[in-house]
Amino acid sequence: MHSPKFERPRTIVITGASAGIGRAIAREFAREHARIGLIARNEEGLEAARKEVEALGGEALVLALDIADFQALDQAASKIEETFGPIDVWVNNAMNSVLGLFKDIEMEEFKRVTEVTYLGTVYGAKCALKRMQPRNRGSIVFVGSALAYRGIPLQTAYCGAKHAIEGFYDSLRTELKYENSNVMTTMVQLPGVNTTQFNLVRNKVEKAPRPMGTIYQPEVAARAIVAAADTNDREYYVGLPAVQTILGNKFFPGLMDIFLSKTGVSGQQTDQPATHGKDYLFEPVPGDHGSHGNFDDVAKESGIVVKGSTVRALASLVVFGSVIAATSLITSSLVRR
């Protein structure tokens, strides 16, 4: 059995598949009876993800590796194709972070976030295109964030990496268009999500961390990512806060600086003291951590998903309308004089 949308079960690759959004993405693809290569470092989490995929009617191959190791990732991609056939969709989801003021972050920590979050995405794209371009088909999904457009305090390494992914994606998409390639790409910009990373992140602040602003469940992100994989649309924004953040920074970056300087640090901390236990930065934390973090009581189960082009077009109309209105007022005032 497989989804009637496709002639055969699709082969999917998901990085960062052992927990959080990656785990939810795997379940979503499993519902179409896909064959899924699950990539992450945590073997226990990957095995739990495999069981979930199989329970939902899919097939899964567990590949425990560090996404920052290109050779290991490339070998894993070959093994997935040997087992399941040509890769149809590659989801670049893996990430990590350090929460703290830049002055308190060691350069080895910053480097590690960059290698995993940014270079891991670059390596994933390279592995996918190496196999998709000769066939002239396939889809690559880049899991982004509103923070790819707007940096916030305590997240210099992560925001820097997400900005870098956005720039890389712009260049890559342009090159594929230049080559008239049929390989599809899209980027899904996410809001704050209730994932396990807030229990696992290296934390250098006094309180336990939380996502900034309105929080959404991982399934909201997963549904948007799986739907986006079937398109060649440039990008999608998930959740109203992502739209507000991206547009706010586009039109009022100075005001965003002021607002975030006053709310950004406290807004990423709960009222509970930090535990500063084992974190996932350099080594996986043992155990199956699942998809959800500690914020089920406040996380939203649904949210808007809109094309970036639609948001930009509406914003342009608002700006254009405001200019026309202002011009009319000035003209009327001059005529009356």
3-state SS string for 261-318: HHHCCHHHEEEEECCCCCCCCCCCCCCCCCCECCCCCCCECCCCEEEHHHHHHHHHHH
- CA–CA dist 230, 123 (Å, integer): 22
Query: How many C-beta atoms lie closer than 10 Å to residue 318's C-beta?
Result: 12
Residue 261 has pLDDT above 50, yes or no: yes
- CA–CA dist 191, 282 (Å, integer): 25
Same domain, 123 and 268: yes
Would 3 be classed as within a structural domain? no
pLDDT, greater one: 296 or 7:
296
User: What is the pTM for the complete model shown?
Assistant: 0.91
Would 2 be classed as within a structural domain? no
Which one, of 188, 182, 190, 172, lies nearest residue 123 by Cα? 172
> So what's the pLDDT on residue 259?
95
- CA–CA dist 78, 162 (Å, integer): 27
Tell me the average pLDDT of the chain: 92
Same domain, 240 and 328: no
> So what's the pLDDT on residue 326?
43
- CA–CA dist 221, 76 (Å, integer): 25
Tens-place pLDDT, residues 44-73 = 999 999 999 999 999 999 999 999 999 999
φ, ψ for residue 212, nearest 5 deg: -75, 130
Would 1 be classed as within a structural domain? no
Could you please report the per-residue DSSP string of 41-105?
S-HHHHHHHHHHHHHTT-EEEEEE--TT-HHHHHHHHHHHHHHH-S--EEEE-----EES-GGG-
Residue 4's pLDDT band (cuts 50, 70, 90): low
Inter-axis angle of helices 156-178 and 120-135, nearest 10: 20
Residue 309's pLDDT band (cuts 50, 70, 90): confident
Same domain, 181 and 324: no
Same domain, 323 and 176: no
- CA–CA dist 283, 40 (Å, integer): 11
Domain count, the chain: 2
> So what's the pLDDT on residue 276?
79
Residue 262 has pLDDT above 50, yes or no: yes
Same domain, 144 and 265: yes
Would 108 be classed as within a structural domain? yes
- CA–CA dist 221, 176 (Å, integer): 26
Would 252 be classed as within a structural domain? yes
For 238, the enclosing helix (H) or strand (E) is strand 235-238
> So what's the pLDDT on residue 241?
94
Residue 334 has pLDDT above 50, yes or no: no
Residues in the chain: 337
Residue 111 has pLDDT above 50, yes or no: yes
Question: Residue with structure tokens 């959740």?
Answer: 239
Tens-place pLDDT, residues 147-203 = 999 999 999 999 999 999 999 999 999 999 999 999 999 999 999 999 999 999 999
Q: Which residues contact 149 (CB under 8 A, 6 or more apart)?
A: 163, 166, 189, 245, 246, 249, 250
- CA–CA dist 290, 22 (Å, integer): 10
Same domain, 189 and 234: yes
Which residues have a catalytic role annotated? Answer: 158
Structure tokens that stand for 8 in this block: 């055969």
Same domain, 246 and 323: no
Which one, of 98, 95, 100, lies nearest residue 265 by Cα? 100
Work out the average pLDDT over 24-53: 98
> So what's the pLDDT on residue 137?
98
Assign residue 286 the CATH number of its domain.
3.40.50.720
Would 4 be classed as within a structural domain? no
Same domain, 249 and 322: no
Same domain, 65 and 135: yes
Q: Is 153 helix (H, G, I), strand (E, B) or coil?
A: coil
Would 77 be classed as within a structural domain? yes
Would 6 be classed as within a structural domain? no
Residue 325 has pLDDT above 50, yes or no: no
Tens-place pLDDT, residues 265-294 = 999 999 999 987 899 999 999 999 999 999
> So what's the pLDDT on residue 289?
96
Range of the domain at 19: 11-303
Same domain, 133 and 92: yes
Same domain, 199 and 105: yes
Residue 321 has pLDDT above 70, yes or no: no
Asked if residues 16 and 67 have their Cβ atoms less than 8 Å apart, the reply is yes
pLDDT, greater one: 93 or 332:
93
Same domain, 327 and 226: no
